Amino acid sequence: QVQLVESGGGLAQAGDSLRLSCAASGRTFRMYDMGWFRQAPGKEREFVAGISWSGGSTFYADSVKGRFTISRDNSKNTMYLQMNSLKAEDTAVYYCATNGLPYSGRYSDARAYDKWGQGTQVTVSS
């Protein structure tokens, strides 16, 4: 059974940094592209960042490009999202997800992901 557990969320001030982690189990982690999404109150879930199965390719939403960095450690079955220069508009519940097919190459399309974590709240005060 695939399980994804996010951690690292919390309260931050504008300009601060936070690092989210996503621990995966129950699937051959290194074979699957993964991603981070977020959902703010009253808004639809949106793509934040994606990373290829090897970690060699990364993709970002324009809103976070240059501020957030996605990475993964396949030896630890863990993915990360380093968030710098946080803004109030980054406030949301952040979800990690794993693609439904190995080596899929689909990063920003939420429909490509079949397993999701429970989410971790990030709140940024201005």
| Eight-state DSSP code of residue 110 | G
Task: Report yes or no: 47 and 96 within 8 Å, Cβ to Cβ.
Answer: no
| 24, 44, 95 from 78: Cα distances, Å | 6, 26, 14
Q: From the CB of residue 122, how many other CB atoms can be counted at a distance below 10 Å?
A: 22
State residue 8's pLDDT score. Answer: 97
Q: From the CB of residue 43, how many other CB atoms can be counted at a distance below 10 Å?
A: 9
State residue 75's pLDDT score. Answer: 95
State residue 102's pLDDT score. Answer: 87
pLDDT along the chain (126 residues), means of 10: 94 98 91 96 96 96 98 97 98 96 89 96 96
What SS3 state is found at 61?
A: coil
Backbone angles phi, psi at 60, to 5 degrees: -140, 150
State residue 103's pLDDT score. Answer: 86
Radius of gyration of the chain (CA): 13
Token pair, residue 102, equals 């190995």
